[in-house]
């Protein structure tokens, strides 16, 4: 029984010929992202701005939804509630909640703790109240940026060693491009930028390079098979051969994230939305950033320069 196919198995799209249109669209995205980051900046969450952290323990399993609604009515700048486990928090399960809030202007941590205790009422053991200061938050932000940049650098080194240096440059620029454009999404829509956002960007970098390496691997394989084919024709052939696989992988990954996006609530929206956006950008960049950059770099060993030759075996 034939497999259901969303797109034809053999496509003949002239990706190289369409590259200038793609460059224009991509350039617009980059300009918007850079302007948004420089002009508006990020809507930094508690992780990067500081706030008050409280550990709450109950004798029974907690329903975090009503708790979140009660704390939200206090009107703090930002509120985050999440379960945590370990030790006595596992008996019963989900009996411990971590509450993080941004205090109102001029409100000290003691006043914050008292207002939360009064709102939640009896039946809770408030085990710890800490203040995350701006110095610690600044260090977290700096470490998050360093982690992202190091991830891009290590990806480039890996690809350069596995393939050739031209591929490493293409992979670094494509991955950096995906991270920058997705970071621009946070700035444009002022999504909450926290450690979860950094995790989303690092996840996206890993997904993006997977797509890029698949395309690069097919280009290298065809370069050995069609030794006299011009590089532009080689890129077109390889990209068309991998198009079905690339699109189906992106669709499958997006489908797994849609439930988080639609039903995960505010806590997961700032993670799932950028990842979904990044999947589209990453698929685009694997073709029109990573692969097309090979046309503007010195030809890899064994490639024939030029773009007009007929593709022949």
Closest CA to 99 of 123, 122, 115: 115
pLDDT beyond 60 at 313: no
Considering only the C-alpha atoms of the chain, give the largest distance between any 2 of them, rounded to a whole number of Å: 79
Give the residue-averaged pLDDT of 49-77.
83
pLDDT value at 35 more than 90: yes
pLDDT of residue 158: 81
Q: Residues 160, 271: contact at Cβ < 8 Å?
A: no
Pairing of the two strands 192-193 and 43-44: parallel
pLDDT band for position 310 (cuts 50, 70, 90): very low
- pLDDT for the residue 230: 87
Q: Strand (E) positions, the chain?
A: 43-44, 51-58, 79-83, 96-101, 124-132, 192-193
Give the pLDDT band of residue 73 (cuts 50, 70, 90): confident
Q: Quick one: pLDDT at residue 43? A: 82
If you average pLDDT over residues 200-214, what whole number do you get?
85
Dig out the tokens for 262 from the structure.
């639609």
For 304, the 3-state DSSP assignment is: strand
Give mean pLDDT, residues 250-263. 87
Instruction: Share the mean pLDDT of the chain.
Output: 81
Coil, strand or helix at 230: strand
**Tokens encoding 5:** 């196919």
**pLDDT the model gives residue 95:** 82
Q: How confident is the model at residue 302 (pLDDT cuts 50, 70, 90)?
A: low
The sign one gets for the Cα dihedral 213, 218, 219, 223 is positive
What is the number of residues in the chain? 313
The Cα 183–Cα 172 span in angstroms is 16
Neighbours of 93 (CB within 10 A): 11
| Percentage of the chain lying above the pLDDT 90 cut | 9
Segment 146-184, tens digit of pLDDT: 888 888 888 888 888 887 888 888 888 888 889 999 999
Report all structural domains of the chain as residue ranges with CATH numbers, in order of start: 19-43+136-296 (1.20.1640.10), 51-132 (3.30.70.3400)
Query: Which H helix or E strand runs over 95?
Result: none
Residue 59 has pLDDT above 70, yes or no: yes
Taking only the tens place, the pLDDT of each residue in 99-116 is 888 777 667 767 787 888
Q: What Rg do the C-alpha atoms of the chain give, in angstroms?
A: 24
- The confidence score (pLDDT) of residue 309 equals 36
Read off the pLDDT band of 136 (50, 70, 90): low
Instruction: Identify which has the larger pLDDT, 78 or 179.
Output: 179
- More confidently predicted of 273 and 210: 273
Most confident of 25-29, 117-121, 159-163, 288-292: 25-29
Scanning 226-265, the segments in alpha helix (DSSP H) are 231-263
């Amino acid at each position: 029984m034939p497999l259901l196919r969303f797109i034809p198995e053999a496509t003949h799209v002239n990706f190289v010929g369409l590259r200038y249109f793609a460059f224009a669209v991509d350039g617009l995205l980059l300009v918007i992202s850079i302007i948004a980051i420089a002009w508006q900046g990020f809507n930094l969450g508690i992780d990067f701005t500081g706030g008050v952290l409280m550990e709450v323990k109950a004798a029974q399993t907690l329903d975090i939804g009503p708790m979140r609604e009660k704390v939200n009515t206090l009107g703090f700048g930002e509120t985050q509630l999440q379960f945590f486990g370990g030790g006595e928090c596992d008996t019963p399960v989900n009996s411990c909640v971590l509450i993080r809030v941004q205090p109102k202007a001029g409100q000290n941590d003691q006043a914050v703790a008292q207002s939360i205790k009064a709102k939640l009422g009896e039946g809770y053991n408030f085990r710890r109240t800490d203040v995350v200061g701006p110095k610690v938050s600044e260090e977290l932000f700096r470490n998050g940026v360093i982690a992202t940049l190091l991830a891009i650098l290590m990806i480039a080194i890996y690809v350069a060693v596995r393939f050739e240096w031209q591929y490493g440059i293409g992979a670094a620029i494509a991955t950096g491009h995906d991270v920058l454009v997705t970071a621009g999404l946070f700035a444009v829509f002022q999504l909450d930028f926290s450690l979860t956002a950094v995790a989303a960007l690092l996840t996206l970098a890993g997904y993006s390079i997977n797509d890029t390496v698949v395309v690069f691997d097919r280009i290298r394989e065809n370069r050995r098979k069609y030794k006299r084919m011009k590089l532009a024709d080689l890129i077109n052939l390889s990209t068309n051969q991998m198009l079905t696989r690339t699109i189906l992988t992106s669709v499958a990954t997006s489908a797994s994230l849609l439930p988080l996006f639609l039903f995960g609530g505010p806590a997961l929206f700032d993670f799932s939305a950028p990842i979904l956006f990044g999947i589209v950008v990453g698929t685009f960049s694997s073709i029109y950033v990573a692969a097309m950059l090979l046309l503007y770099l010195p030809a890899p060993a064994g490639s024939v320069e030029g773009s007009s030759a007929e593709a022949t075996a």
